[in-house]
Structure 1
Amino acid sequence: MSTDVKRLITVLAALLLVALTTATARAADGGGDGDGPSAGQRIASALRTSPVYVDDAYTDAVPPSRQRQLADRIRGAGLPIKVVLTPLTKGDAFDGDSDVLAGVVRDRFPDQRELIVITTDSDFPDSLEGYEWPTDTHQARDAVAATGFLDEMRNAGLADLTAKAVDLVAEGKGRERYEEATRELDGSAAPDAQASESPASESSSDGTGGWWLWPLITVPALALTALATRALVRSRRTPSTVPQLVFATARAADEAGLRRRAEAEVLALGEATQAADATTTPDLQRALDAYAAAGTVLDEARGLPDLAGVLALAQEGRDALAGSLGLPLCFFDPRHGRAALRTGWRQLGRRERLDVAVCQECADALRAHRAPEVLTDRDEDGRTVPYFELPAGRSVWAATGYGSLMSPLDGFNTRRTTTR
């Protein structure tokens, strides 16, 4: 490897390590300064007296008079809305991530089952993000997102933008408003793309056009690709903190996506149970129990395994409504979807052979003597292990296999009974 490549990789690694160290230090002290309260604590304390928190950096844009107007607007809507307007930068108490900020706010109000949080956007300071728990009943995410695309809000200040976001959330038609606001964006890039392609086509037809530009484009691209590939190979050969940071970031992104999926499935199951006729749905009560359990797990979810459990409970609820118990979700990773078949499988180091439900991809991997993709969790020592390696008494998902070994609902109810 050349000296320049080594130098570049070293610099990138150093920057990532500094970021990791800073984030770890902040996590250790709760995000606070010295012995003072953490940023999350300060925000939560303020939100207990008013539904609107505005950082000092934004008081010019949202002065106290406008803050009071926003608070009155929220109280008039009668919804559990909390507004948090604070600058977000990489390395701060929330690592510059609005998802983290919203999650911290949610954690500070554990007794509040329903909560809607409107925050400043991680990427665009003049934009907003919407979050809602336990489900997207009021379509808060789409409603807040739509605000930034409205023509009337094009030059609006932060106070007006936030007020409009509250109104759209209260209206409860966020998805519809978002689709209307973004409809004109569909295909808007096509004319520009065609215009940019036209001259190139004409100039290349006479044999003297822009062919000479290709080396200028492809050579740097190939060089960057080679550098990335060599860095990846090196990271696989030499354990370091950098890949771990990358994996942690990817896991956080996976968790956010899975949470949205779980919220949508719980919402859909709730709507389906409300529409069901008790006279023609013998297992309606079980579906209602699965819905309630899924909502509880979603509220208390601490990571991917719990969110996957929400999917398993929602699937069991749908099966109860349908009156036919199909195969559960994939044993190895419920995110793979409903299993395609059952097969015998023996865990490494164990004698007993289990009958588990697996998706087709995992079944093919087992047949080829390859390890299937597995959902992981952390054991008591903090190590990442396959979720089913945890003691059944510590993990309801290890005990039930997300439906392969036992009904997720029965496992959930048993755990609730024994822990009371």
Structure 2
Amino acid sequence: MSAPAGAAGQAELATRGLVGHGTASPGQKIAEALRDSPVYVDPSLATAVDAAQKRELVAQINETKLPIRVVLAPLVEGDSWGGKPEQLAQVVHDRMGGGPSILITLGDLPDDIAAREWPEGAHQARHAAAAVFFQDDMKGAGLAKRVARAISIIKAGNGDKVYEDATASLGTPKPKASDGSEGTTGKDADARAGSGGSPLVRLLSLVVGPVLLLAAAGMLLRRRSRLRDLTTPFALPRSVFAAARQADEAGLRDRASEEVVRLGEEARAAQGDPAAVERALDAYAAAGTVLDRARGVVDLAGVFALVAEGRAALSKAPGALPLCFFHPLHGPAVRRIPWRPLGRREQLRVAACETCLRAVRTRRAPEVLTDRRDGRPIPYFEIPAEDSVWAATGYGSLLSGDGDSLTGRVQRGDFTSTLA
């Protein structure tokens, strides 16, 4: 399978089934709707943003002359996006063929919105949307008004400053008037003084005030951490694996196809070592080969392992570990550990995720991915190596190094030779 490029490549991938298997994926459906209108509203949110409000948002976007798109779809754990706004935005962007774009979605907190843009930071869109959550006059405002405010800030191009201003007071006590009554009427001052004299109210103010302050500060830190994490290139979000484990086979296939498309876009856009880019493109092609002919969850997990190998090639971080040996849908491993398969004398060194690492250290059986042999489920690594490239390689854990890779194994036919 070659690596198609650009919008034409997206069309080819759709034709070949890499963006759905017989029917359009949720991301493809949204992308198609956005070609008709820059604002997509899921039917479940029609009461939150009605037809008139949608028309106003469309007019506002058209007036900016910017490539802004709004996707208002509910985000819940286990959905097609793993409940993550950044995943939704990335998938829709890929489905629309890439290129300069600004996508506004719901955020991952109640009454929150989020934005991503390509290229990153061109219009400070991420902070523009994030700032709305903290603006006093937006508290209790409807969804359409919050989106409209974000669009206005994006148009102005000063999202970073607006975000800093909106969050500057978090964690900072409000200044007190010298006589306790500045800026209030005499009645207000008397009432405040009277309430302040209540021991119960004073106690509540001492207890509740710091709790709310800590909560607000924690929320800000989480948001700032999320904004930083999203700028890390070529990261395969753990949310992808969390959602993949909850999906049925058809849903897992859709998720795998989305990650293959995303890897292809990242590899073609990457700058740097040409050899690394070539390895990523080879991994992209190998992942497409496996996805085209995947027989079940075990092969689809191999697609994710190949995508991870391609992303590792693009990343500048040294010594990237493969996916978890025991169950690759647990996500990237955190450490290599010694492990002896039950009933065998030889000891292996395998890559394990945090959960499986704790299980092995406490002498508990880790959760393992199973394959079928003679009609019964068994750990995938108990399949004879000649019958399964995944058993032979442990999804990357058992590779010998020195240029040995999952991509190379697939390219030389180790996967297709095992197909019945």
TM-score category of the 2 structures, normalised to the smaller one: 0.3 to 0.5
Kindly indicate which of the two structures has a greater share of residues assigned to helix.
1
Give the TM-score of the pair, scaled to structure 2: 0.45
